[in-house]
Structure 1
Amino acid sequence: MAGPSRTSPSADTVSATLPLGVHKITPKTHLDRPLEPQHASRWEWRYKTAVVTGDIGVIVLGALAGGLLGLGNGSTGVWASWYLAGAVTLLMVACVATCGAWDIRVLGQGSEEFGRVLRGVVLGAVVLGLVGLAFELTAVRPWVFGIIPVIGIVTELLRYGLRRMVHRRRRQGRCMRTVLAVGTASSVAELITRTRRAKYSGWTVTGVCTPDGRGLDGENHVLDVPVVGDLDNLPLAVGLDQYRVVAVTPTPELAPKRLHRLAWELEGSGAEMVVDPGLMEIAGPRLHVAPVDGLPLLRVTEPAFTGIARVLKTVVDRTVAGTLILMLLPVLLAVAIAIKADGGPVFFRQVRLGQGGRPFPMVKFRSMVVNAERLRSDLLTANEGAGPLFKMARDPRVTAVGAWLRRYSLDELPQLFNVLTGSMSLVGPRPPLPEEARGYTPEAQRRLLVKPGMTGLWQVSGRSDLSWEESVRLDLRYVENWSMALDAMILWKTIGAVVTGRGAY
């Protein structure tokens, strides 16, 4: 017996409710097809299938490797390692699933995906270790401290590889989530600009709803994105076009009760509602929901610049810096010899401002002629840098050896000694010159709340190709949302930025 058919409002009905001159919604051919499970797109389910299959494959292969190596056999019998292999497989699959590492909402974006995988791996190791401790099973040790960590590392690398594949497709306009942006024309324009700039996020704004149903200057579009209605017919627009995301930007006309009602109306539509709280560049560990009598309040904590996390960051900085100096010693000597053969001193020392505005001598390999500072005043008219920065793509002061060093950021390597002595960090805002800091706005002054870094969000996002405003915005994002996970992500991306030489001159 056939079930009731799904019907949608006609295009004529929708167009009749829209203000004059507003884009007319045309129904799409896929409307009569049922939504997929959890309303996810086909590519999302294919991606999730690839992730789950990859994770389970890594876990199984890791367990098989442990079994073949006979880990845990000892005096407990030759089959002990295979029993452990089976137990570890089931345990790791259960822990990764329990920690939400396969939640389709976190796959392919942000650091939360990697964090959940890490929590699953740690949980599996802890559970297995506690079982071994409770029953005095020393056979689990090589699994807890060997196989499971390797499984975690390979799983994270596999996830990263799959994400890179998705990001490449998103740069081509594929694997995107369609977004209906809701809010004032100006706030919607900001969202459109950001999604276009960060295509890797997977959002593409294809429709706009504004309070009066019009765009900027009364037009029927915002930055070439059509206005499909006003706030009153928003649910109808969502039902026709089946947007994956409804992004609500700060809008005075959207009172809390109306926003709550909108959330109810979107239930079952296949669209996920996302609300911008209007707190620019603040996210992650600083945002908390604190309900009061059922009213969800967004609590914003102060950025943490002290405590155990900062101590850990200092330990990691100095340990990694010392290790890299020892590992790169042949490279450092080779570069020093090349610079000396080119004439002049090997190192260039310059006063920069560190945490709290305290000056310190920053060390670099010399990449310019000896009297470069005196020649700078003669080149001010050719300055290509944004804001207070002085930059030239073809700076005549750069030596032949220096151009090559700058291309691959080798001139920055001596800053490892600054990290080792504590005046800099591996990751942080760009260390400014004193004359640059004198022109800082109050917002830019917040860059001095933390130690400057050898690399940062500015380094992995374009370096010298960035505008002054963009570099300040990225540094402030780092200051406001610092975490060890963010540091790890920036260090990983720095490798790619250095190898390709993007924005380096």
Structure 2
Amino acid sequence: MAARQAWQGRYVRRIAVGDALSGLAAAGVGYVVRFGPEPGTPEAMPGSIWIAALLPLVWVAAMTLSRAYERRFLWIGPEEFRRVAFAAVALLAAVGTVSWAFKLEVARGLIVVSLPLVAALTLLHRYANRLWLHRRRSSGEYEQTVVIVGHRNGVADLHRQVRRDRYHGYRVVGCFLPSDPHERLATEYDGLPVLGSFDDVVDVVKRYEVDTVAVLPSPELDGSELRRLGWALEDTSAELLLAPAVTEIAGPRVKIRPVCGLPLLHMERPELKGARRLIKETFDRTAAVVALLLLLPVLLAIAVTIRVTSPGPVLFRQARVGRDGRVFEMLKFRSMVVDAEELRPTLLATDEGNGVLFKMRNDPRVTPIGRVIRRYSLDELPQLLNVLRGDMSLVGPRPPLPAEVDQYGEDMHRRFIVKPGLTGLWQVSGRSDLSWDDSVRIDIRYVENWSLAYDFMILGKTVGTIVRGSGAY
């Protein structure tokens, strides 16, 4: 296990060196901005050079105090970046308080430039390191071994999720199923070796030095049994992960609160109303206006090209279902021949969709210019007008057809609580390559965990997805 996890120490050392270099670069820029490039400037305060020289060391110390080097906060999730931001704010407050309390002459211009810059550089290089790590993990490197403990359906669901998100760095090596006195324990399930029953978990983890034990909700592992399992695993190096019965809920919505002496999970309500929703709608419409103005030459060029290369209208109008089940007219640049809808029944036998959505990788109805604009999602740009009209949002679930809604189950109607989006979690997670179950799961995840920060994250990821053309056809 030590050899398998050696990369973690190297990774932490690398980001620590990157933090120090970020501090050095920010100190140099701050000093030059405040006092100019010439050394020994008369107006430079005596302590300014020392402040600039000590910034890398102080910054690394601030990262350490904010626990930004702890491995549980690295690799994935926003917590690492939150701690970097917290360290920058705390350090700025500390410098201000100390200089005021002891009446120290500190070059405020140096501090005002250096601290925000070192935070930005640190976030940038840590994000770059994370992308590098995710790419390596996707190719099978730097992984942690995992065993899953639970019932069959739960094991299959978690195994599928782990395989889908390989960049998280987990590799499932086996599972433990509940024993049945009337049936012999299987040797394999869902492509995984069955390593034993729940009673065998600790022995197998010790024997094979497993990195992580993921426990699913099971009646056999009630409070006392689960507590004993945790105690037994303390003698190993394995992490213990507990999957809640309610999935797809983001961390910020889940709080542990003591109730009657018990640590119970409290789920906050989704942020679907109130001031934040008003801010979202204001941002949507403002951003749509700005985007339409900036992209006007591109929109005109695409419109002219469509008009010249293919007979028919420039825009394609289609009925879609929006918030609260209301039907609206969605706009797109026309990327198919005019009679595409009439030709669809003849192509049903070659459907490559997910059982509900009709998709073809090489759809003969798509025009030559249509293939280009569909690959880079340029055909979606007229939906900025839908955002401006209030029918859609910049970020939200995919806007469905009425025929698709007729096939929805009860869970899928949850998506109509919010407006459909020009982009969304579905677009940055695979788009047309998603199965129907994955599409349902992703739409519900967005609705359940909606926040402004979540929207900004999706908007940022959309740029990379569009450039790569992932899942677009």
- Give the TM-score normalised by the residue count of structure 1: 0.84
Tell whether 2:405 aligns with 1:405.
no
Matched, 1:101 2:65: no
Residue of 210, 216, 228 corresponding to 2:177: 210
Q: 1:70 is paired with a residue of what secondary structure?
A: helix
Partner of 2:393: 425
C-alpha distance 120-415 of structure 1, shift in aligned 2 (>3 A): farther
Of 137, 147, 164, 1:180 maps to 147
Change (3 A) 1:83 1:163: same
Question: Given the alignment, which residue of 245, 249, 262 partners 2:212?
Answer: 245
Partner of 2:32: 68
Instruction: Provide Cα deviations, 1:246-271, integer angstroms capped at 9, x if missing partner.
Output: 11111111110111111111114111
Deviates more, 1:152-161 or 1:175-184: 152-161
Match of 2:49 among 72, 76, 82: 82
Cα drift, residue 113 of structure 1:
2.2
The equivalent of 1:15 in structure 2 is none
Show CA shifts across 1:207-246 (max 9, x none). 32223299x9832123333233322232222222222111
1:261-292 superposed Cα distances (whole Å, 9 cap, x missing partner): 11111114111111111212123222111112
Instruction: Provide the C-alpha distance between the structure 1 equivalents of 2:58 and 2:280, rounded to a whole number of angstroms.
Output: 32
Q: Distance in 2 between matches of 1:377 and 1:172?
A: 40
Normalising by structure 2, what TM-score?
0.89
Residues 1:444 and 2:412 aligned together? yes
Contact preservation (8 Å) 2:20, 2:57:
no
Where in structure 2 are there 5+ consecutive unaligned residues?
A: none
Identify the match of residue 270 of structure 1 among 210, 218, 237: 237
1:58 correspondence with 2:22:
yes
Please tell me whether the aligned partners of residues 184 and 210 of structure 1 are also in contact (alpha carbons under 8 angstroms).
yes
Q: CA deviation at 1:143?
A: 3.8
Please tell me whether residue 282 in structure 1 is matched to residue 249 in structure 2.
yes
- Does the 8 Å CA contact 1:63/1:147 hold for their aligned counterparts? yes
Q: For 1:272, give the aligned amino acid.
A: E
The percentage of aligned residue pairs carrying the same residue is: 46
In structure 2, how many angstroms separate the alpha carbons of the residues matched to 1:140 and 1:423? 48
CA RMSD of aligned residues (A): 2.9
- Which residue identity lines up with residue 44 of structure 2 in the other structure? G
User: What amino acid sits opposite 2:268 in the alignment?
Assistant: T
Between the aligned partners of 1:113 and 1:423, the Cα distance in structure 2 is: 36
The change in CA–CA distance for 1:142 and 1:341 in structure 2 (over 3 A counts) is farther
- Matched with 1:477 is 445
Question: Contact 2:47–2:106 at 8 Å: present in 1 too?
Answer: no
The aligned counterpart of 2:305 is 338
Task: Please name the residue that 1:6 is paired with.
Answer: none
Q: Deviations over 1:137-176 (max 9, x none)?
A: 89425643x4433333332221221112112221222101
The CA deviation at 1:136 is 10
Task: Answer with 272-281 or 335-344: which moved more.
Answer: 335-344
| Contact preservation (8 Å) 2:397, 2:415 | yes
Q: Deviations over 1:82-136 (max 9, x none)?
A: 3543565455434433333222112111222223223333433454566678869
Q: Which residue of the partner structure matches residue 348 of structure 1?
A: 316
Q: Which runs of 5+ in 1 are unaligned?
A: 1-29
For the residues of structure 1 that align with 2:419 and 2:184, how far apart are their CA atoms? 44
Q: For residue 191 of structure 2, what is the aligned residue in structure 1?
A: 224
Say if 1:265 and 1:127 are closer, same or farther in 2 by CA, change over 3 A.
Answer: same
What is the aligned counterpart of 2:77 among 110, 116, 127? 110
Amino acid at match of 2:262: L
Residue 406 of structure 1 deviates from its aligned partner by 0.5
Structure 1 partner of 2:133: 166
Q: Is the counterpart of residue 499 in structure 1 residue 464 in structure 2?
A: no
What is aligned with 1:44? 8
Q: Which amino acid aligns with 2:237?
A: G
Distance 1:406 1:159 in 2: 33
Give per-residue Cα distances to partners, 1:41-83, cap 9 Å, x unaligned: 2111111111222122212211121112225999963546435
Task: Name 1:148's counterpart in structure 2.
Answer: 115
SS in structure 1 opposite 2:72? coil
Say if 1:213 and 1:228, in contact at 8 Å, map to a contact too.
no
Distance 1:333 1:69, change over 3 A: same
Does the aligned pair in 2 maintain the 1:71–1:143 contact within 8 Å? no
Distance 1:474 1:85, change over 3 A: same
In 2: Cα distance, 1:470 partner to 1:369 partner:
30
**What displacement does 1:442 show?**
1.0
The partner residue of 1:461 within 429, 432, 437 is 429
